[in-house]
Structure 1
Amino acid sequence: MSCEGPGALCSNLQKACIKQHRSEEATMFGTLDSYHGIHHATKKEQDYQPLIAAINADFSDGYAEAGNAAEKTDDRG
């Protein structure tokens, strides 16, 4: 799980508790969400080049492989 994961999980659980009218649990999950939100370091600049390279590789290779596999099994997609 990424460093933002526990905060997001607690936030989602807080929302679920609010919908179920469980205010005590919602407050506790809100506290945990605040703790994780404060204590994770965010990067100021993201390097998206590895992601872009992976997406482009998938477009160029992955779709061709999937198309060939579909043709071999007479799959119309």
Structure 2
Amino acid sequence: MFCTDVEVQEPDLEEFFELKKTFGKTDMLIIDAQYSSEEAEKKVGWGHTSGRVAVRCGEILEVKRLVLTHHEPDHKDEDIFK
């Protein structure tokens, strides 16, 4: 499942329980995880997801492998690895 350039917020997670009926236990979820949780709260509508919410999407769908993609271009390497 390939979900790049997607914005998922906390309230949207309920929809992933519905998606689980079709996509649950898929082999791989590749999903946008550009922002920290704090940044995502400030950038609603910018079209990107926080790493924490992206991980939660993978947990809900019970995916076998989770690949987080995208990064904030202004972040340093140290920021990305936090």
TM-score category (smaller protein):
under 0.3
Greater helix share, 1 or 2?
1
* Greater RCO (Cα-Cα under 8 Å, separation 6 or more): 2
TM-score (norm 1): 0.26
